[in-house]
Amino acid sequence: MNNLLLLILCFIAGMLLKRFRRMPDNAPATLNSFIIHVSLPALTLLYIHQLKLSGDVLLTGMMAWLEFGLSAGFFWLVGRWLNLPRATVGALILVGGLGNTSFFGLPMVEAFYGKEGLTTAIIADQLGSFFALSVLGITFAGIYSSGRPTAAQIVKRIVLFPPFISLLLALLLIPVEYADWFSALLKRLGDTLAPLALLSVGLQLRLGHIAEHRRNLALGLGFKLILAPLAIYLLYVPLLGAHGQSIQVTLFEAAMPPMITAAIVASEHDLDPPLATLMVAVGLILSFFTLSAWWYLLGGV
């Protein structure tokens, strides 16, 4: 509960700082850069090192990749049908295809499933969402950005993406025991991710943009909060026969609201930043209701 209160307070603080012009115009870009280059790599190095693999790890890790694939196909079709701008389609794919499985997902999983559900949640987050962001997210952000980068340029962006580098390094360091001071350092740096990310979202939020983006906002959140987790549920439970708490937590993570870091990447590539920010902010609010519904529905899995 304390983690959720922190998210809410930082989000509101960002809105108030923007409203009273207490932060420079480039503050969100500065915060986003710190998150990408410091906070997220530290969190990855810390949590990947603590992973304990389970029998359902493949299904758990693949969830985010499947969800992103569904997002890419769905919004490509919607974009052609509605004749949406490329930047808007890119934002919908990126933000609608990646869930906030970390600093919102982890406390929500602990609240609904207890500490025993956190191992599955960490796998879904680190090997799923953040790995998918590092590879698929950066690839699609490059494809849909105005620059139209070449394949070589996209590969270079992936390889040089700080969270991707830290993920590979963390996997290599799993057999190595961290010194206590190093673990403490990573934790302190990683702890900055949640408050800074919500502060950045609050600084960028323009409530007046809701009416302008209401159709695309409804499409993006309808897919992320309802359609995508429903599709993963149908694949994992009726078709593959998966069940148990690890699968419940995996499906619960699939229903998380849009990932803030995905919105940051979308904004950095100029993929409809107002829509990306709105999807994160409104999605966080709506998810308190949708996640409660999903937890109830998943009780029999």
Asked if pLDDT for residue 124 goes beyond 70, the answer is yes
Q: How confident is the model at residue 53 (pLDDT cuts 50, 70, 90)?
A: low
Please give the mean pLDDT across all residues of the chain: 87
Q: Where are the alpha helices (H) located in 21-150, listed in sequence order?
A: 27-34, 40-48, 57-82, 86-96, 105-113, 118-123, 131-132, 138-144
Asked if pLDDT for residue 54 goes beyond 60, the answer is no
Q: What is the pLDDT of residue 162?
A: 84
Distance of CA 129 to the CA centre of its chain: 6
Q: How confident is the model at residue 289 (pLDDT cuts 50, 70, 90)?
A: very high
**Distances 49 to 44, 52, 155, 264 between C-alpha atoms, Å:** 8, 9, 26, 25
Q: What is the pLDDT of residue 140?
A: 92
Q: Facing residues of 99 across strands? A: 258
Count of beta carbons in the 10 Å neighbourhood of residue 58: 12
Altogether, the residues listed in the chain come to a count of 301
Asked if pLDDT for residue 234 goes beyond 70, the answer is yes
Q: Which has more confidence, 13 or 1?
A: 13
For residues 200 and 188, what is the distance between their CA atoms, to the nearest angstrom? 19
Percent of the chain whose predicted confidence (pLDDT) is above 90: 40
Q: What is the pLDDT of residue 272?
A: 92
Least reliable range by pLDDT among 61-70, 117-126, 146-155: 146-155
- Average pLDDT for 215-227: 96
Q: Which has more confidence, 25 or 53?
A: 25
Q: What is the pLDDT of residue 80?
A: 95
Q: What is the pTM of this model?
A: 0.80
Q: What is the pLDDT of residue 39?
A: 86
Q: What is the per-residue pLDDT across 264-275, written as a single tens digit (0 to 9) for each?
A: 889 888 999 999
Percent of the chain whose predicted confidence (pLDDT) is above 70: 94
Name which of 262, 227, 243, 222 is nearest 301 in CA terms. Answer: 243
Based on its alpha-carbon atoms, the radius of gyration of the chain, rounded to whole angstroms, reads: 18
Distance of CA 76 to the CA centre of its chain: 20
- Average pLDDT for 269-285: 90
Q: What is the pLDDT of residue 147?
A: 67
Asked if pLDDT for residue 97 goes beyond 80, the answer is yes
Asked if pLDDT for residue 256 goes beyond 80, the answer is yes
Q: Is the Cβ–Cβ distance between 21 and 209 less than 8 Å?
A: no
